[in-house]
A = this chain, B = another copy of it.
Amino acid sequence: MTAPTIKWTGSTDGHAELIDQTLLPCEVRVVSVKSVKEMWHAIKVLQIRGAPAIGIGAAYGVVLGVQEVPDSAPIEQLHDKLTEVCDYLAASRPTAVNLFWALGRMKKSAESAGVSTTVQLKEILLDEAKAIHREDAAMCRAIGANGAHLIAEGNGILTHCNAGGLATAEYGTALALMFTAHEQGKQFAVYADETRPLLQGARLTTWELCQAGIDVTLICDNMAGHLMKLGKIDLVITGADRIAANGDAANKIGTYAVAVLAKAHNIPFYIAAPSSTFDLATAGGDEIPIEQRDPREVSHPLGQQAAPDNVKVYNPAFDVTPHEYITAIITEKGLIESPDTAAVKSHLCK
């Protein structure tokens, strides 16, 4: 990518810079985020989005928040400010699990820091934010390295939604395999489902792949089956939002249909996701609740009315792909082939 999703510039008194994702793909604008209030806003209005990226943004938001405490102030004042800032940032996107996870990690690092001055504690917090950022990037790189061999020279690859660098520190999950294979010099063609209703495939996935110089073609979701019939697709790679203990995977609506179509055409279907995506408390996919979203996302594409007033709409955010349809799951630890409860358990205990 030309610019990273998010980066920190300077020392503890520095600032964050991020790509304003609300303007993509029509404009690539890097915005400077210089206060915790600005970071709250950036997360709220989706200038930065995607679970891991939100976590990183929140961590840097904490660093920005504590800048308001003078270096000369007693350390207790910084601890009080830290609590205040974390509570504030937690309200930016109240359902984002990674946001709470990152804020919790920042607080824990301060509690266990064992330092005595405000200046030292500010440094501890910046180091922790950078560690969260660095670890996410390393995890994506590892996913890419573990799965790139699945892409062969000349392959046609289908992907759904956006599981790319914009949702993470960089590199993403599903797209990490493609970025890595591209770095290895392989030539291949990617077909990106536009991914209605919110068009993350059209807006974000094609943009990321174009930026990387990877051959990408945009299609409507209903064209994937036809392409498979024509023999243009050799493998499917998507991300996942939550994976049950038996390997059943919840991901963006439409993923299940792609998996069924892939099986009908004898095409391997892969999921790339960090091991933190597994929810072992959920035995199988039937237990995963499916969020219903605003009907207007369907009836008003890009905000424009396309259906009769008050038409009834069904708009599930996710669907669940049973593990029988998944050829393998690629994590930062390696591959889970033919995933099931035993294979998942053994992989996560590595």
**Chain A interface residues toward B at CB < 8 A:** 25-26, 160, 191, 193-197, 199, 202-203, 206-207, 210, 215-227, 229, 253-254, 256-258, 260-261, 263-264, 298-299, 301-309, 311-316, 319
Contacts and interface: CB of A to CB of B under 8 A. Distances in A.
Given A222-B195, A254-B223, A26 B305 contact: yes
B260 A202 contact: no
B298 A301 contact: no
Nearest to A26: B305
Q: Which interface residue of A199, A207, A264 has the most chain B CB atoms within 10 A?
A: A264
A308 B225 contact: no
Contact of A307 (B25, B160, B316): B25
A319 B194 contact: no
Given A196-B220, A306-B302, A311-B216, A225 B257 contact: yes
A197 B224 contact: no
A256 B222 CA distance: 9
Contacts of A206: 307-308, 311
Contacts of A313: 217-219
Most buried by B among A25, A202, A227, A304: A202
A220 B307 contact: no
15 contacts: A25-B305, A195-B222, A196-B222, A199-B301, A202-B307, A206-B311, A207-B308, A216-B312, A218-B312, A220-B315, A222-B222, A222-B254, A225-B257, A229-B256, A257-B257
A227 B314 contact: yes
Contacts of A299: 202, 218
Contact of A220 (B197, B223, B225): B197
A179 to B, nearest CB: 17
A300 B315 CA distance: 22
Given A196-B196, A220-B221, 15 more contacts: A25-B307, A26-B305, A196-B221, A199-B301, A202-B307, A206-B311, A207-B308, A215-B312, A218-B299, A220-B298, A222-B257, A223-B315, A226-B254, A263-B264, A302-B306
B306 A223 contact: no
B254 A314 contact: no
Contact of A256 (B191, B199, B225, B256): B225
Contacts of A196: 194, 196, 220-222
B194 A298 contact: yes
> What 3 A-B pairs come out closest when comparing CB atoms?
A222-B254, A225-B257, A25-B308
Contact of A301 (B221, B226, B302, B305): B302
Nearest to A252: B222
Contact of A311 (B218, B223, B298): B218
A202 B306 contact: yes
Contacts of A202: 298-299, 306-307, 311
A118 B98 CA distance: 81
Given A222-B254, A261-B260, A319-B226, A203 B302 contact: no
Nearest to A319: B226
A327 to B, nearest CB: 17
